[in-house]
Structure 1
Amino acid sequence: MKHKTLMVQGTTSDAGKSTVVTALCRWFKQQGYQVAPFKPQNMALNSAVTAEGGEIGRAQAVQAQACHLAPHIDMNPVLLKPNSDSGAQVIIHGKAVANMEARFYHDYKPTAMQAVLDSHHRLESNYDLVVVEGAGSPAEINLRDRDIANMGFAEAVDCPVILIADIDRGGVFAHLVGTLSCLSESEQARIKGFIINRFRGDMSLLQPGLDWLKQKTGKPVLGVLPYLHGLHLEAEDAVNTQQITGSDKQLNIIVPVLPRISNHTDLDPLRLHPQVNLQFIGPDDTIPAADLIILPGSKHVRADLEWLIKQGWPEAIAKHCRYGGKVLGICGGFQMLGRLIHDPDGIESQPGSSDGLGLLDMETTLAGDKTLRQNQGQLLINSSAVTISGYEIHAGISTGKALASPLMTLSHGPDGAISDDRQIIGTYLHGLFEHDEAAQAILTWAGLDDVQSVDYWQLRENDINKLAEMIATHVNTEKLMQILEDRR
């Protein structure tokens, strides 16, 4: 194999890059290759914690599963976590280095690029093949200078590129030809073929367009991937608000879509649970009655708390509790449940303090050093302790009487809180619903009887295998291997 790196770029955001990289990772793994995923630069508020205590994009953790690997910081060396409309926390090799406005990050890109190249070199040295996911589109002209996410990276490491477009959006041929026309000659030559994603319909009606595309560009369509109904992969960033209906739904859960909501993938196991009706509540939506309200993670806790107040959530939560409803706060949502949130050093915004919801007797002080670790232990919500595991990503330290009744005991000590009336619980632990025993315990506490067992890991495995089968069935894999071997 001449090329040890294959890059997947897209004509737009959400063209299907993450999905196709996941699919290719599993397909190559099934062919016997030692393969690793890689995304040079990711911008997302959904992240995962690696065993060495680093933070990477959640999508790369799923892609690592597709490769039968544990997530590693080299799989996503640069992670940008937006904390305003023009700025983000910059994470290099798993650790936050600074908060930067976009114009300052542009000047920082050469340093970030070196981290990218170092990580890529290590992966290429240890694996047969590295499958790379681009970001956004290579045709974003304003971002081409010092680019490290798309063609800037591909040119630096001299790898072939496959370009993906989503036909479900419409205008797929314009997307492909238009993107190609925005690239330099060397970048155009680097694109070895196209993949059209999310097709549903009669292939015979699409074929004239495929023939025209080949004649227009001289590049082959390597595959037309079908629209896979019911497929679930954890979102890179966007919240999946699609409700899954069914006659067995017995427990109603609502979740506010905070402006800076983070790690909402915590809720995917609940969204997929056959007995749970989970509903995301957006801005100005009516707040419906529910059995359980979950306050999710936040990248900007005080600002999101202010948003909650303006949207009328404190009144809705108070009424909810009067009628016996339950409340769960996760990470930033846990901090909001307390009396006060202090940010003396301006970690997230201007220095100051904000009143919390006052549902737990505690207060939180934000600090510069972020806690990043995987954790496991015992959940104490019911009469008998059950095993739980997950990961922590937070910059706050909470103190107060509420913590004397922890929700769980973990390898790093007690965590979270349970209110005296047991209606309100909170935790810093992400991923708490991914393990069946813990999910059953929390759903039982929330009021669901006879909770069904759901193996979330196996659900994800099944969908990853479906993606690999899609590659085998709908992609010209012989041509794909020729690209890696640089044979025409």
Structure 2
Amino acid sequence: MKAISILGSSSNAGKSWVATALCAWLRKQGIKVAPFKAQNMANNAFATLAGGEIGVAQAVQAEACGLLPRVEMNPILLKPNGPDGSQIVRLGVAGETRSAASYYETVEESWRIVQQTLDGWKSECDVLVLEGAGSPVELNLMTRDIVNLRPVEYLDGRWILVSNIEFGGVFAQVFGTWNLLPPAMQARGLGTIVNRFRGDLSLFSDAADVFRERMKLPYLGCLPFDGSLRIDDEDSLNAEASIPKDGTPYIAWIKYPRISNSQDQLPWQNDIGIQSIWTDSPKVVEGATAVVLPGSKNTLSDLAWLKERGLASAVVGGAKRGIPVVGICGGKQMLGRVLRDPQTGEDARGLELLPIETEFLPSKRVVRNESRRAGEVWQTFEIHTGESSIVESVPFEPLCESRPAGEGDFDSDGMKIGKVWGTYQHGIFDAVSMRELLLSDACIEGVQVCRSDWRESRMSIYDRMADCLDMYLDLDTVKRYLGL
């Protein structure tokens, strides 16, 4: 098995994007390829068919490879949930919460799990595409880093360095990273890629000479930014708040501090005539034609933040004005009456827009589902610790029908009271019928809803990403390493 790791000169350099594109490129070459990230820190998670959690980036990369996501693609997942630290998910199973300092005391235990999963891949694929985390040369962390250099060395693999030109100082990013790498690791480099260039690429045409004069690492080329080739982000922090454009109706997605599964918003990006934006502003919420409360890694903390910021009042005010309010997972819990955590003794009043109460449990529900509405069937999933129960007999409509993927009969799922929605299904808006229902509730007309299947359309995006590598990069060093 060959191994290629995509390293970054910093966080948000574009490692996930390039790794996904490389997976798609290798698949198109007829190579049996699989994705891998030893340790991920992200609240954007995905449920596998076996009921385990992995980072959403590796689920996306699995799709690009033509594979079903598996926990072995991301053996260690750290899910930040506040000042107490991060929940540790090992091989898809949620475990204890630890502070960073406490976790590093057990990092060798995590490395043993990583080694075992790496060994398992050797008999299952021809090429393993690894994704790094942050920078591989954080000097204070390198001895404890099990994501970047250690897996490459363990597999006798090679690496590609990606830098983000939007951050500025791209030459300093690349030269600094290169010069801080140990000589033995420098020798494993296949090349460097400059990512996310905007504007006239000819203005960067002399970059190859600059790189060649100062280091031995080959310059593979520069990738232009293309907003149409967007994939699910592994990091909810990438859900940046923005200001709505004048005159166009918009859906306001609340960006609380511990947001999770922000990819639920992505299907709206292909619809024309409606804006779907992230916000932490009560004023923006007050002007919205619909509001969505997404998932949260710490629902009680984010609920308190909503109230402190005046967003809770803005959401309730919007519901009173008759605009749709949608709660997904933790957002659904916030729309209820009471939220209780027996483990901490903490109780909180919700926004009281749904007749439910939620109790947080030590165990977590992680399941891949199929959902159905108006004859349309699509994939959804649940990842949550709270269980909600109806506390008052109020008439409501189910939002859809759902069942565990491929098992049993469909049952009613979610609730809709007037224009207030509550659901535990991530991926609810992947369905055309669900987006059309929200637009109808919001009385928004003239929107051109993209009717292609969201999941199927992603395969064409992966193929275009692969074509982008062919078009803009010199992949000769990669081909020689792989024997192509």
Q: Give the TM-score normalised by structure 2.
A: 0.91
User: Where does residue 188 of structure 2 map in the other structure?
Assistant: 190
Q: Secondary structure at the residue paired with 1:168?
A: helix
- Give the Cα–Cα distance (whole angstroms) in 1 for the partners of residues 365 and 221 of structure 2: 43
Match of 1:438 in 2: 434
Point out the more displaced range, 265-274 or 279-288.
279-288
User: What is residue 472 of structure 1 aligned with on the other side?
Assistant: 470
Look up the SS of the partner of 1:51 in the other structure. Answer: coil
Match among 344, 348, 352 for residue 358 of structure 1 = 352
Does the 8 A contact of 1:8 with 1:164 survive in 2? Answer: yes
The yes-or-no answer on 1:119 pairing with 2:117 is yes
SS at match of 1:374: strand
Map 1:253-332 → 2, pairs under 5 A: 253-282=251-280, 286-332=284-330
Q: Is 1:409 the equivalent of 2:407?
A: no
Checking the alignment, whether the CA contact within 8 Å between 1:244 and 1:277 is kept in structure 2 is: no
1:191-223 residue CA offsets vs partner (Å, 9 max, x unmatched): 232111123455565344422322322121122
* Deviation of the 1:477 alpha carbon: 2.3
TM-score (norm 1): 0.90
Structure 1 CA distance for aligned equivalents of residues 201 and 435 of structure 2: 43
C-alpha change, 1:174 and 1:48, in structure 2 (3 Å) is: same
The one-character-per-residue Cα deviations of 1:73-110 (angstroms, maximum 9, x if unpaired) are 11111111111246111111111121110011101211
Which of 414, 425, 442 is the aligned partner of 2:421?
425
- DSSP-derived class of the 2:97 partner: strand
Tell me which residue corresponds to 2:384: 394
Equivalent residue number for residue 238 of structure 2: 239
Instruction: Kindly report which structure 2 residues correspond to 1:95-174, keeping only aligned pairs within 5 A, or say none.
Output: 95-174=93-172
Out of 47, 51, 54, the residue aligned to residue 52 of structure 2 is 54
Find the aligned partners of 1:403 and 1:457 in 2 and give their Cα distance: 37
Letter in 1 for 2:402: L
- 1:342 is matched with 340
Given that 2:132 and 2:148 are in contact with CA atoms closer than 8 Å, whether structure 1 keeps it comes out as yes
1: CA distance, partners of 2:160 / 2:390: 54
Unmatched tracts of structure 2, length 5 or more = 405-410
Q: 1:480 to 1:266 in 2, by over 3 A?
A: same
Matching residue's letter, 1:365: E
Q: How far apart, in 1, do the equivalents of 2:227 and 2:346 lie?
A: 47
Q: Which moved further from structure 2: 204-213 or 230-239?
A: 204-213
Q: 1-side partners of 2:32 and 2:247: how far apart? A: 42
The whole-number CA distance in structure 2 between the counterparts of 1:226 and 1:463 is: 15
Q: Which amino acid is 1:398 matched to?
A: S
Shift of 1:453: 4.1
Measured against aligned partners, the alpha-carbon deviations of 1:96-126 in whole angstroms (never above 9, x if no partner) come to 1211100111012111112212222222311
Distance across 1 between alignment mates of 2:55 and 2:2: 23
Superposition map of 1:19-38 within 5 A: 19-38=17-36
- Measure the CA separation in 1 of the matches of 2:432 and 2:88: 34
Distance in 1 between the 2:89 and 2:147 partners? 15
SS of residue matched to 2:385: strand
Q: What is the percentage of aligned positions where both structures have the same residue?
A: 36
Is contact 1:248–1:274 with CA below 8 Å preserved after alignment? no
Q: Is the 8 A contact 1:336 1:357 kept in 2?
A: yes
CA contact (8 A) 1:160 1:484 kept: no
Q: 97-106 or 309-318: which moved more?
A: 309-318
**What amino acid does structure 2 have at the position aligned with 1:425?**
W
Letter in 2 for 1:468: A
Cα distance in structure 1, aligned partners of 2:413 and 2:130: 37
Q: Take 1:245 and 1:68, find their aligned partners in 2: how far apart are those partners?
A: 37
CA gap 1:403/1:418 in 2 versus in 1, 3 angstroms = farther
Question: For residues 156 and 432 of structure 1, what CA distance do their matches in structure 2 show?
Answer: 40
1:435-487, Cα deviation, whole Å (9 max, x unpaired): 223332343334334763432234423322221111111222222111334x9
1:403 to 1:180, Cα distance in 2 relative to 1, 3 A? farther
